[in-house]
Amino acid sequence: MSILINERTRLLIQGITGGEGSFHARRMIEYGTKVVAGVTPGKGGQRLDSVPIYDTVEEAVAQARPNASVIFVPAPFAPDAIIEAADAGIKLIVCITERIPLHEALRVYHMLRLRKTRLIGPNCPGVISPGKAKAGIMPGEVFIPGPVGIVSRSGTLTYEIAAQLSRAGLGQSTVVGIGGDPVVGSSFIDILELFEKDPETELVVLVGEIGGRDEEEAAAFIAAEMTKPVIAYIAGFSAPPGKRMGHAGAIISGGEGTAQAKKEALEAKGIPVGRTPQEMVELAKRALRG
């Protein structure tokens, strides 16, 4: 099985006529994803190759019946695009857009909780269930189907670890990039719960980074609630305190959020932590052997 998306997912792409939206729409279609509609206000009635374009999400839902959306809308308009999709009944929204202001991200977060809509992102690479579907910008060629679930705050680091696992013959059930901003729609814990319930996910890889307390909270949840093995990788052991490193959420302040502190919190709960992608492969092999 897989979580969040599969071969039955009917995908809508908001911002499909922009440079990023059109490029990745074609990559998703090439991968085998059922992209059934796109939305760009003012472009209704046009097509991107065989994909019909609508002016609003409401029209797209009525005509094409999508059940998930990927958002490539520029940051000033992305929050309203997310709310528009939720109001139209879309239950899974993946927001690729970065640089959404914090107060807008908070507004969207609380509005979606009332609607029971799941948001992945913003500022994320998306979701892929290898061999079935992808919703986002992940390079499909580095993933293969298998029993390892991956949940990550990083983008390119996720691809590197997945590629190393794939080369070792350790395929993935679903890979979820939750995003690196301080406020994201789905936390590590939200995704870990889904992997725990998925019968075909045998091992979970958690990819964290400096900043915040998400990894520490995930460690407590794993120890208390999960029966499946979890291994972890933390990026940023050499990061200087007080300096932002890549993501808006990747900043150490007041001595909190260091890679070492996260490593210690995870290991205290019995979760092995790798220092390199290659070491993650060995930890994964060990965990799957039981």
Distance CA 248, CA 244 (A): 7
Domain boundary, last residue among 120, 150, 182? 120
Same domain, 270 and 145: yes
Q: Is residue 131 part of a domain?
A: no
pLDDT of 238 reads 57
Same domain, 168 and 240: yes
Same domain, 27 and 72: yes
pLDDT of 71 reads 98
State which residues form the domain around 21: 10-120
Same domain, 109 and 205: no
Same domain, 115 and 197: no
Same domain, 33 and 111: yes
Same domain, 84 and 177: no
**Number of domains observed in the structure of the chain:** 2
Tens digits of per-residue pLDDT, 241-260?
555 545 544 444 445 578 88
- Report the percentage of the chain scoring pLDDT > 70: 93
The enclosing domain of 62 has a CATH number of 3.40.50.720
Average predicted confidence (pLDDT) for the chain: 93
The enclosing domain of 204 has a CATH number of 3.40.50.261
List C-alpha distances in Å: 245 to 144, 161, 181, 182, 279. 30, 19, 12, 13, 23
DSSP symbols for the chain: --SS--TT-EEEEETTTSHHHHHHHHHHHHHT-EEEEEE-TT-TT-EETTEEEESSHHHHHHHH--SEEEE---TTTHHHHHHHHHHTT--EEEE------HHHHHHHHHHHHHHT-EEE-SS--EEEETTTEEEES--GGG--EEEEEEEES-SHHHHHHHHHHHHTT--EEEEEE--SSSS-SS-HHHHHHHHHH-TT--EEEEEEESSSSHHHHHHHHHHHH--S-EEEEEE-TTPPTT---SSTT---BTTBS-HHHHHHHHHHTT--EESSHHHHHHHHHHHHH-
Same domain, 174 and 253: yes
Q: Is residue 133 part of a domain?
A: no
Distance CA 213, CA 12 (A): 33
The mean per-residue pLDDT over the stretch 132-155 comes to 97
pLDDT of 202 reads 98
Q: Is residue 244 part of a domain?
A: yes
Same domain, 223 and 272: yes
List C-alpha distances in Å: 158 to 48, 53, 153, 163, 198. 29, 32, 8, 8, 20
Same domain, 143 and 116: no
247 among known catalytic residues: yes
Q: Is residue 5 part of a domain?
A: no
Same domain, 144 and 204: yes
The residue from 24, 103, 110, 247 that is catalytic is 247
Q: Is residue 132 part of a domain?
A: no
The mean per-residue pLDDT over the stretch 30-52 comes to 98
Q: Is residue 91 part of a domain?
A: yes
> What is the length of the chain?
290
Residue 255: exposure state from Cβ atoms within 10 A (0-12, 13-18, ≥19):
exposed
Tens digits of per-residue pLDDT, 55-94?
999 999 999 999 999 999 999 999 999 999 999 999 999 9
pLDDT band at 235 (very low <50, low <70, confident <90, very high): confident
SS (H, E, C) 62-74: HHHCCCEEEECCC
Same domain, 53 and 157: no
pLDDT(42) > 90: yes
pLDDT of 211 reads 83
Q: pTM, whole model, 2 decimals? A: 0.94
